[in-house]
């Protein structure tokens, strides 16, 4: 029983540490000014148009996406609800503490730190196994509904949100491209680092499988 309780505690710590780190790492990408993750391009664009903080927009969009789970018959977990509530707050808190970078060296440093920490956050969150983020559930739900591959559904969604966000004023740049290229391998590596030992008879596939179909979306 003690082992089970300790394991649950570790999973909860990983869940909330991963969510907080995801928000903080996304804020570093904002401050770099060199490009954001696909969904945050949309969030930033909406923030520019509405006057709301990017963290508040992220939370509202996450809640709206979660509502779309209803017709798709997806089931949220603790991690899903926590995703909606925690990442935006962590992102706004970090933006309040970290100023804009001036000069190419500091901007590149923030960009690289943001991407690497985002990969670590993804590994922490997914390895905790408390359910997908709302945008991942949208992706898997559309896959199940349409029969289109996860890869194509994900690509279609991300191209749509990037194009929409860019049109609204979101930042697309080298950071966006670099993120797309390296987040999968980074997340895979950190999934192995943060894998929680499974209880007897429970599969550990989450720590060894390909994460690109399950990458945390803020």
Residue numbers of the domain that contains 133:
1-194
Would residue 40 count as lying in a domain? Answer: yes
Token look-up 């596939």 returns: 205
Select the more confidently predicted residue: 214 or 81: 81
Q: Is residue 66 part of a domain?
A: yes
Q: Which of 78, 84, 29, 33 is nearest to 55 (CA)?
A: 84
The reported pLDDT for the residue numbered 217 is: 55
Quick check: 85 and 59 in contact, CB under 8 A?
yes
207 domain residue, yes or no: no
Mean pLDDT value across residues 172-182: 94
Q: Stretch 155-169: mean pLDDT, rounded?
A: 94
Q: What is the pLDDT of residue 211?
A: 42
Q: What is the pLDDT of residue 2?
A: 45
The answer to whether residue 49 sits within a structural domain is yes
Q: How many domains does the chain have?
A: 1
pLDDT of residue 16: 97
Residue of 217 and 28 predicted with greater confidence: 28
Could you tell me if residue 109 is inside a domain?
yes
Do 98 and 91 meet the contact criterion of CB atoms below 8 Å apart?
no
pLDDT class for 184, splitting at 50, 70, 90? Answer: confident
Question: What integer pLDDT is reported at residue 153 of this predicted model?
Answer: 87
> What is the reported pLDDT for 37?
95
Residue with structure tokens 């925690």?
A: 86
C-alpha distances in Å from residue 148, one per residue of 65, 71, 128: 19, 17, 28
Residue 200 lies in a domain: no
Question: What digits encode the pLDDT tens for the residues 59-98?
Answer: 999 999 999 888 888 888 999 999 999 999 999 999 999 9
| Structural domain contains residue 204 | no
Domain for residue 19, yes or no?
Answer: yes
Angle at which helix 150-168 crosses helix 38-50, to 10 degrees, equals 30
Distances (CA, A) of 123 to 3, 58, 128: 22, 20, 8
Which residues, in sequence order, are CB contacts of 25 under 8 Å at separation 6+? 113, 114, 115, 117, 118, 120, 121
Top-confidence residue, 88 or 7: 88
CA 55 to chain centre: 13
Judge whether 53 and 47 are in contact, CB under 8 Å.
Answer: yes
pLDDT recorded at residue 68:
87
pLDDT, average across residues 99-122: 95
Confidence category of residue 119, pLDDT binned at 50, 70, 90: very high
Residue 193: closest CA among 136, 139, 130, 116: 116
């Amino acid at each position: 029983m003690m082992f089970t309780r300790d394991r649950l505690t570790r999973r909860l710590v990983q869940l909330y540490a991963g969510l907080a780190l995801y928000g903080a790492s996304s804020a570093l990408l904002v401050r770099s000014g060199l490009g954001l993750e696909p969904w945050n391009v949309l969030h930033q664009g909406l923030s520019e148009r509405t006057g709301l903080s990017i963290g508040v927009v992220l939370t509202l969009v996450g809640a709206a996406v979660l509502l779309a789970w209803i017709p798709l018959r997806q089931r949220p977990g603790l991690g899903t609800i926590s995703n909606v509530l925690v990442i935006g707050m962590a992102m706004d808190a970090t933006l309040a503490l970290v100023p804009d970078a001036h000069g190419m060296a500091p901007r590149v440093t923030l960009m690289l730190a943001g991407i690497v920490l985002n990969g670590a956050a993804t590994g922490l969150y997914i390895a905790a196994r408390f359910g997908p983020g709302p945008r991942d559930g949208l992706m898997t739900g559309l896959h199940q509904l349409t029969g289109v591959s996860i890869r194509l559904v994900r690509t279609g969604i991300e191209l749509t949100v990037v194009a929409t966000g860019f049109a609204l004023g979101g930042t697309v740049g080298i950071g966006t491209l670099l993120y797309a290229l390296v987040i999968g391998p980074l997340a895979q590596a950190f999934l192995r680092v943060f894998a929680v030992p499974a209880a007897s008879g429970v599969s550990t596939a989450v720590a060894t499988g390909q994460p690109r179909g399950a990458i945390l979306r803020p």
